[in-house]
Amino acid sequence: MKERVRAILKRYWGFDQFRPLQEDIVLSVMEGKDTLALLPTGGGKSICFQVPGMAKEGICIVISPLIALMKDQVENLKKRGIKAAAIYSGLSSREIESLLSNCAFSDTIKFLYVSPERLKTEIFVNYLKRMNVSMFAIDEAHCISQWGYDFRPPYLQIAEIRNHFPDVPILALTATATPDVVQDIQDKLAFPKVNVFQKSFKRDNLTYMVVKEQNKMGRMLRVINHYPGTGIVYVRNRRKTKEIAEYIQAHGISADFYHAGLTSELRDSKQNDWMSGKTRVIVSTNAFGMGIDKPDVRWVIHIDIPDTLEAYFQEAGRGGRDLLPSTAVMLYDDGDIKELKEGFERSFPPIEFIKTAYRELCNHYQIAMGDGENKTFPFHLETISKKLKVKPLELYSAITFLEKMGILMLNEEGKKSSVVMMIMQSKELDHFYKTNPDLEEPIKLLLRSYGGIFTNYIKIYEEDLAKRSETDVNTIMTQLRELSSKGVLVYIPRTKTPQISFLVNRVEESYLYLSDTIYKTRKEVAKKRLDAVLRFVETTDQCRSQLLLAYFGEKKSVPCGTCDVCLKWHKDQLRKKEHDTIVEAIRKLKGSTNKAIIDEVSKHFPENKVIEVLREMIDFGF
């Protein structure tokens, strides 16, 4: 078995050996055991399910809440010659059914990525039962735990799904989990026995620095100039990404900004420039980093305090993946502490407001009672909040809460590419050409440009088609819409606007399952996470690394010796030792004049320190 999985690793990924713990995790899954893997950011989690997914017969179902990561992993697998697909919000029902049918009735697709919300839909469950499932991989597994920092109720559906597949192993993966969450994950997934592989969260090559600073921009520049190489500056909101990037550029340093509101083409371009070293600094929201494995990041700066230590550990951990020294610097001031506390209160709007927001959203989109499941609409936060006469942040917080209840989902990226699938087969097309000769060339252009268009939805780019046909984009889009209306193909145009998807049929807001107990429990858990962040930031007498490791359950670690607290401790110890030695030297010269004492002791110690200690001894009557 070892030889088989190693051969797959070499063939598809080009690696001669696994990283620490990877092979143990892979073999555990190959033996049919339910397995929980805790690997810090950059620990190679995807290999742990992709290798056994290739080694086992059948299809691996990957459950992930991150649409961007799903798309990236599917594309990466395809580049390696592995067939993979993803189902996410924004796809039409026809696209989804076509994909599921392909997975159920052919053995070509090895990996199917789905969001946890998808598990609740009847059509998915019906097709899933017909699939030859080899294993379930659950990414971001902490989302299944109510004690986790990103609890998502739809994850609870996984335990019900596995009832249909009692002999199929589950591999749950997460980069960050406290001991309570580790236990809760296994309980929720009904593991028959404890089976956890955990790599230490300690990063020996990563130095943590927390600095209270009024002039954060100036300190940020000094950090960038002090440490060579590329780095990341994390900020809280999108507007600041551009402002700070321009500030860095104005000081002669190549920098760019990144956030989820940019087009996918622009994000890819900015990311590639940074990955290649063309851009030295990327200033980003927490949208940047998922699935990005740049080994030589020498520093990570947080201009704003992250909401959780889990988020901070993941973001700071993007530095030094090549195992060479790297530094994580968090800059804060009193205003940041206040903002963090206020943000916590905002994230828990009153229950009645959440229910009201749900009702008003349903009314805005004209969703009737008992209707709305899997319907998707364009979403404009500012426009809708103005119409509902509420503050945008309040509405966003209510929507976030409804997301975590599994009632709706907000996709802030929109659908960035159009898709097409041919409905008419070749013989029917020949007849169609005779009655619609003006549409023959557009059809043949599609067939020449894209393979697999009769069996799958294919991403198309109208700009490319316009260039090949020496026409314009509007003409191409008009032709595609006409072909779609005539039943030749299905054409789903791209959209740049964010979208909101209703995952269940509308119910009276009084029936929303928002009990006081659940609400209070979730708020208490979130408060503990907030307190942990504040303790990490404001503590000045305990090693930063020890604080982080203790939070994740590693209670017996030793001081790192390199963080700001450890360095201050070392400095204080050296200063005390030197101070005591100078005191002893002065005492030996008792009876001498001050000048004589200074002249003599300064032969062995800096004069300014000798004078300082002498004044201190005089002040205290020594």
pLDDT at 287 over 80: no
User: Fold match between 206-332+526-551 and 342-414+498-514?
Assistant: no
Q: Which residues pair with 301 in a beta bridge?
A: 233, 329
Q: Does the global pTM surpass 0.85?
A: no
Instruction: Tell me which H or E stretch contains 35.
Output: strand 35-38
pLDDT at 496 over 90: no
If pLDDT is split at 50, 70 and 90, which confidence band does 97 have?
confident
**The two structure tokens encoding residue 535:** 């303790």
CATH number corresponding to 2-198: 3.40.50.300
If pLDDT is split at 50, 70 and 90, which confidence band does 499 have?
confident
pLDDT at 500 over 80: yes
Interval 449-466 mean pLDDT:
79
Interval 523-542 mean pLDDT:
92
For residue 280, what pLDDT is reported? Answer: 96
**The two structure tokens encoding residue 151:** 């609890």
Torsion sign, CA atoms 607, 613, 618, 622: negative
For residue 416, what pLDDT is reported? Answer: 56
Sheet hosting strand 408-411, strand order edge to edge = 375-378, 499-502, 408-411
Q: Write the pLDDT tens digit of every residue in 300-344.
A: 999 999 999 988 998 998 999 888 999 999 999 999 999 999 888
Residue 121 vs residue 417, higher pLDDT: 121
Instruction: Tell me which H or E stretch contains 233.
Output: strand 230-234
For residue 312, what pLDDT is reported? Answer: 94
pLDDT at 84 over 80: yes
- The full length of the chain comes to 622
The 10 Å Cβ neighbour count of residue 131 is: 18
Interior CA angle at 585 toward 579 and 586, to 5°?
A: 90
Residue 148 vs residue 134, higher pLDDT: 134
CB-CB contact of 136 with 63 (8 Å):
yes
If pLDDT is split at 50, 70 and 90, which confidence band does 195 have?
very high
pLDDT > 70: percent of the chain: 94
Most confident of 22-31, 430-439, 475-484, 499-508: 22-31
| DSSP tag of 473 | H
In DSSP notation, 516-585 reads HHHHHHHHHHHHHHHHHHHHHHH--SS-HHHHHHHHTT-TT----S-SHHHHHHHHHHHHHHHHHHHHHH
The SS3 of residue 238 is helix
The 10 Å Cβ neighbour count of residue 104 is: 16
Beta pairing class for 84-87 and 111-114: parallel
pLDDT at 457 over 80: no
Q: Write the pLDDT tens digit of every residue in 574-603.
A: 778 888 888 888 898 888 888 889 998 888
| Long-range CB contacts for residues 314-318, cutoff 8 Å, separation at least 24 | 314/41, 314/175, 314/176, 314/289, 315/232, 315/234, 315/286, 315/289, 316/206, 316/208, 317/40, 317/41, 317/42, 317/175, 317/203, 317/206, 318/41, 318/42, 318/232, 318/289, 318/292, 318/294
The SS3 of residue 136 is strand
If pLDDT is split at 50, 70 and 90, which confidence band does 291 have?
low
Residue 452 vs residue 365, higher pLDDT: 365
Nearest to 374 by CA among 506, 191, 470: 506
Please provide residue 500's backbone torsions phi and psi, each rounded to the nearest 5 degrees: -120, 135
Residue 163 CB contacts under 8 Å (≥ 6 apart), including other chains: none
The 10 Å Cβ neighbour count of residue 25 is: 27
If pLDDT is split at 50, 70 and 90, which confidence band does 493 have?
confident
Q: Write the pLDDT tens digit of every residue in 107-119.
A: 889 999 998 878 8
Q: Write the pLDDT tens digit of every residue in 268-282.
A: 889 889 999 999 999
CA 341 from centre of chain: 23
Nearest to 21 by CA among 6, 43, 2, 5: 43
Beta pairing class for 499-502 and 408-411: antiparallel
d(CA 46, CA 310): 19
Q: Write the pLDDT tens digit of every residue in 30-66.
A: 999 999 999 877 668 899 999 999 999 999 999 987 7
If pLDDT is split at 50, 70 and 90, which confidence band does 217 have?
very high
The average confidence (pLDDT) of the chain is 87
Nearest to 9 by CA among 38, 59, 49, 47: 47
d(CA 409, CA 494): 19
CB-CB contact of 421 with 458 (8 Å):
yes
For residue 149, what pLDDT is reported? Answer: 65
Q: Which residues pair with 230 in a beta bridge?
A: 297
pLDDT at 72 over 70: yes
Residue 236 vs residue 72, higher pLDDT: 236
If pLDDT is split at 50, 70 and 90, which confidence band does 523 have?
confident
Q: Write the pLDDT tens digit of every residue in 548-567.
A: 999 998 988 889 989 999 98
CB-CB contact of 293 with 47 (8 Å):
no
Most distant CA atoms of the chain, gap in Å: 119
pLDDT at 473 over 90: no
Q: Write the pLDDT tens digit of every residue in 612-621.
A: 888 878 877 7
pLDDT at 204 over 80: yes
Domain boundaries, the chain: 2-198, 206-332+526-551, 342-414+498-514, 418-492, 564-619
Please provide residue 327's backbone torsions phi and psi, each rounded to the nearest 5 degrees: -125, 135
Burial pattern 557-590, b for ≥16 Cβ within 10 A else e, equals beebebbbbbeebeeeeeeeeeeeebeebbeeee
Residue 489 vs residue 533, higher pLDDT: 533
Rg, Å, the chain Cα set: 29
CB-CB contact of 121 with 500 (8 Å):
no
Residue showing tokens 């809760």? 184
The answer to whether domain 206-332+526-551 has CATH 3.40.50.300 is yes
Nearest to 224 by CA among 259, 255, 246: 255
**Hey, which CATH number is domain 342-414+498-514, 3.40.50.1860, 1.10.10.10, 2.60.40.10, 3.40.50.300?**
1.10.10.10
Most confident of 359-368, 410-419, 507-516: 359-368
